[in-house]
Every structure is written in C-alpha cells, then in structure tokens.
Amino acid sequence: MRPATISAPVWWAGFRPAAPALTAGFILLALAFYREAEAAVATWWDSTAYNHGFLVLPIAVWLLWERRAMLAGAFARPWPLALLAAVPLAAIWFAAERLGIMEGRQLAVMALVQVLLLASLGWDFYRRLLWPALYLFFLVPFGGFLVPALQNFTLGFIDHGLTLLGIPYFSDGFSIEIAEGKFYVAEACAGLRFLVASIAFGVLYAGVMYRSPGRRLVFIAASLIVPVLANGMRALGIVVLGHIIGSARAATADHLIYGWGFFAFVTFILILGGLPFREPMAVPPAMSARPSAAPRVLWPGLALGLLALAAPLSAMALDGAAAASGVRLALPVPAGCIAAPDETRPALLVAANGTTRALLCAGGEIRLTVAALPARTDPGLVLRVMRVLTGEAGADDAVISPLPAKPWRLIATRAETEAPFRVVAGALWLAGEPTGPGITLRLRQASRSLGIGAAGGVPLIAVLAPAGAIGEAAAATKLEAFLAAMPDLATTLATASAAAR
C-alpha cells in the first residue's frame, strides 16, 4: 500500500490531542537545557566527525513522513506512568553535570525528550514512530572517548601489516618510522569521523530497508565493524604508498581528503551488500475510528518540564555559590623570572570568579601561567580552563605524556595536521595535592562542589616553551630542563595560590 494514499489531515489528526503537552514540554526543556543544545551545535560545526549532526533532524522528520500511513490509525492517549522515568533521568543529568561530562548531560536530555513523547502520546502511538524518535539520539556528539582505542587499533593494524609485507619499520607511541620517512597516527587519523558517520548511516539504512530486528542488527553491526577495519587498511595503505614512492610527505599529502573518498567507496560496498536482503515496508494497520471526544491535554508536558527543571536549577545554585566565594592569588616570583604584563582573563575564568597571573622565565623563553578557581568549582569547568591554558582547547591533535618531574605532564598540541607541535607542561592541584585530569579528579571535585571535602582553591599551572622556531624536540628538552632546575616550583606556586578568600 502506498503511503501517499493517506491524506495529511487523517494521519496528522492523531497528534492533535497531544499538541499542547508537546509544545509546553519542548519549550520547558529548551529553557532548561539550552546549554546542551549550544554545545552540540558547536561540536557539529567545529568537528568533522560530527558534521552530520545538522542532517539528523531533517532525516528524523523524513522518517516520520515515511511512516505517516502507520500513524493514521493511532490517536494520542497520555500515559502518566512514563513520567516516573523523568526522576532518575534528571538525577543522571545532575550527576553528569557535576562530573563535567557534557555527553552524559546531552544523552540524559535526549532521553527526557523520549519520555515527553511517550507520556504525551501514549505507548501505542509512540511505538509507531519509535525509529525516527530514537534516531534523534544521533544529535548527541557522542564517542570521543573512543579515539585512543581507535588510535591503538590503527597503529596495531599498521604494525601487523608492515610485518606481513616485510617492510622494516620502527614504532614509538603513535609514530611509525620507515626508511622513507615518519608517519604519525593522529587523532584525526583514528577513524572516529568515519565510524560515527557510518553508524548514523547504518541505522538509517537499516530502518528504511529492513523490518526484522535481526537484519537490522546485522547491518548496524557491519556499519560499526567495517569502517574500523577499512580505516586500518587506509592507514596501512598510506604507509605502504610512502614506501613505494620513496617519500612519507608525498604519501600523506591530502590524505584526509583521500580518506573521505575511501570511506564513500566503503559505504557504497555496504549498500550493495545490504540490498539483496531488503524487505518490503510493513502494511499499514487498518484505520480505527476517531474517538468522539479526544480532549487536548497540557499536563504531561508541564509535569515533565517541571520535573526536569529541578536539576539545572540546583546546578545553577551550586555554581552561583562557587563563583561567589572566589580566590586570591598571592603569586611568588621565582628566581630567574619576572612578572609578565597582565592579560585579559579568559571568559571561563571571569564567569567562575577565578584569577590568573603570568611570569616570564629563562630570559623570556619560558612563559609560566598560574590560574586559580574557587574550591567549589565543578570539575568540568576546571578541566575546560586547563585545556585553555595548555592549548588543548581548539587543537586538532594533542599528545599527552608524563614527565619525570612530577606532577608535570607534557602536552604537545597542534592546530592543524601539518603545523609543528606547541609544547606545554601542565599540572593541577586539588585540596593541596597534585592530581591528573581523570575520573579521580572528577569525583573528588564533584564532591567539593557540593560542599563536601577540604576547602582551598583549585590551582592550575601551565608552562609554555614555544616550539615554532626551535622544533618540538628542542622545546620539550628546554621545558624539561627548566622544570628539573626548579623542583619545588609547582608545589610553591600551588600552595601560594590555593588560599580561599
């Protein structure tokens, strides 16, 4: 049966009783969680791995339109029990916000959208639009945590491939060196952009071409596995090409552009492989008579919105208390250093009522920046400020490694694939103790943001040795020598800058 035989007023009629609830619910969710939407759109714009985010909503609308015949026999009937799911989801959002995990916040918001649809439309209606509704989860730029694992897989694929081909090579970290030159498996080469786009396409294709859950799951699994293997083959091919033509630089020229061409070819193969197993669309159910009295309801949307608002309002109150406390920065000037001219504080520091100072050391070759945030600052803001200080924010690639001089970490960042690394040493403290930017920091600082734990500010220190003129290796050596010559520098600066106002 052709969907076009169902007129728009007939299939749309089922939505009308829930229109007020959906409108009120979406408005309240937008007011409560606009920051999550802003962060998602910024990621779609800035990251090539998530550019497809701009297409997700139009695709979901198209999927809904394709299923309009299935919706013609359903009418919205509110399901109050669905609202119970909003309470744990709001708690999950609050936990993710306190831990500074934006993807967790965005996933919780999208789950609240599903609860709004289910509570306003009822289960019978919701299950008919389940595929386009769940496709909205691709609006969340999720999966960045997979980059290190994908880099390791790609590196291992190259290692085994070169060994099988008998090409001599040396591997160190994410670097592969052959006689013809050196290759680096950067974050951009890890294959995340191919993987995320392939999964989004695979789910769309499976929803349109198949009806049985088994075939859908098989195709989605293929969309996940094939691009990872294909990216390993692409990376190995670039190294082998460099060996054949005798130049690593020539082989890597425009390799990202070639990578997208290779990905398009792999997607085409997936499409061809899936076509023989396609299934016809389900026959629409028989139309049921419209209820004589189908009242329009508002309360499901209002109830969901008010339950959801409790979490961001609580977080705002905690952030306000943290910013109101502030910190003072009594910064000593070590021997061989001078105070640098004051600079405009980053917007993040201004918003958190934090402060920063800068020193020039080693004849101006080393720049040392110290920032301090209030004790109850949430860990997400702490880590964002640290990324700004070290240059990780906005970088296309970053290589982080520990230094012998504890607690420093060497952070090499690059703004574009062919540009030289910018080398920085960074360190941060929590309650007077050095710490790394992992889950321990997130958990402890989340507790402090709730008023649980030791007082005192949160010092962050970044030491920069410009690498543009002298090269990455020389800059790293200069930086390590400076830190080794001043073993008590970090502790002295952290202690002096942690006094709460």
Cis peptide before 284 (omega within 30 of 0): no
3-state SS string for 227-274:
HHHHHHHHHHHHHHHHHHHCCHHHHHCCHHHHHHHHHHHHHHHHHHHH
Q: Do 279 and 132 share a domain, yes or no?
A: yes
Residue 413: which of 399, 425, 427 has the closest Cα?
Answer: 399
Residues found in the chain = 501
Beta bridge partners of 458: 373
Segments forming the whole domain that contains residue 476: 326-497
The confidence band for 289, taking pLDDT boundaries of 50, 70 and 90, is very low
394 or 439, higher pLDDT: 439
Task: Kindly tell me if the per-residue pLDDT of 175 is higher than 70.
Answer: yes
Contacts of 249 (CB under 8 A, 6+ apart): 181
Q: Choose between 468 and 153: higher pLDDT.
A: 153
Residue 133 lies in a domain: yes
Q: What is the pTM of this model?
A: 0.81
- Tens of pLDDT, residues 204-237: 888 888 888 888 899 999 998 988 888 888 888 8
The answer on 219 and 94 residing in a single domain is yes
Domain assignment present for 172: no
Residues 334 and 235 in one domain: no
353 and 233 in one domain? no
Tell me what the mean pLDDT of segment 186-212 comes to: 82
- My answer on whether 252 and 334 are in the same domain is no
Residue 66: inside a domain, yes or no?
yes
Give 1's pLDDT tier (boundaries 50, 70, 90): very low
- Same domain for 492 and 452, yes or no, is yes
Residues 335 and 439 both lie in one domain:
yes
- Residues forming a β-bridge with 460: 371, 428
Token output for 19: 């229109």
Tens of pLDDT along 17-38? Answer: 888 888 899 999 999 999 999 9
The average pLDDT across 149-153 equals: 86
Considering its fold, how many domains does the chain have in total? Answer: 2
Identify the weakest region by mean pLDDT among 196-210, 285-299, 454-468: 285-299
Amino acid at 204: L
In a domain, 164, yes or no: no
Question: Based on the domain organization, do 215 and 104 belong to the same domain?
Answer: yes
Residue 304 shares a structural domain with residue 351: no
Residue 419 lies inside a defined structural domain of this protein? yes
Contacts of 207 (CB under 8 A, 6+ apart): 63, 131, 135, 216
Structure tokens at 201: 């396409």
Average pLDDT, the chain: 79
Same domain? For 138 and 276 the reply is yes
Q: Is residue 423 part of a domain?
A: yes
Question: What average pLDDT does the segment 357-376 reach?
Answer: 79
Check whether 285 has a pLDDT greater than 50: yes
Higher pLDDT, 313 or 408: 313
Tens of pLDDT, residue by residue over 459-486, are 666 776 654 445 667 777 778 787 777 7
Q: Are 21 and 299 in contact (CB under 8 A)?
A: yes
The last residue of one of the domains, among 288, 313, 338, is: 313
Mean pLDDT of 424-450: 76
- Say yes or no to pLDDT of 138 above 90: yes
Residue 156's pLDDT band, with cuts at 50, 70 and 90, is confident
Among candidate residues 261, 290, 313, the one where a domain is terminated: 313
Please check whether residue 229 lies inside any domain of the structure: yes
Domain assignment present for 170: no
* 339 and 304 within one domain: no
More confident residue, 144 or 84: 84
Domain-ending residue, one of 257, 290, 313:
313
What whole-number distance in Å separates Cα of residue 485 and Cα of residue 115?
A: 59
pLDDT for 87:
92
User: Is the pLDDT higher at 147 or at 174?
Assistant: 147
Rounded to 10 degrees, what is the CA torsion of 387, 390, 392, 398? Answer: -130
Q: What is the pLDDT of residue 40?
A: 92
**pLDDT value, residue 337:** 81
Q: What are phi and psi of 44, to 5 degrees?
A: -60, -40
- Residue 286 confidence class, pLDDT cut points 50, 70, 90: very low
pLDDT value for 2? 46
User: With 60 as the cut, is the pLDDT of residue 180 above it?
Assistant: yes
Pairing, β 433-435 against β 409-414:
unpaired
Same-domain status, 135 and 65:
yes
pLDDT-wise least confident of 42-56, 180-194, 289-303:
289-303
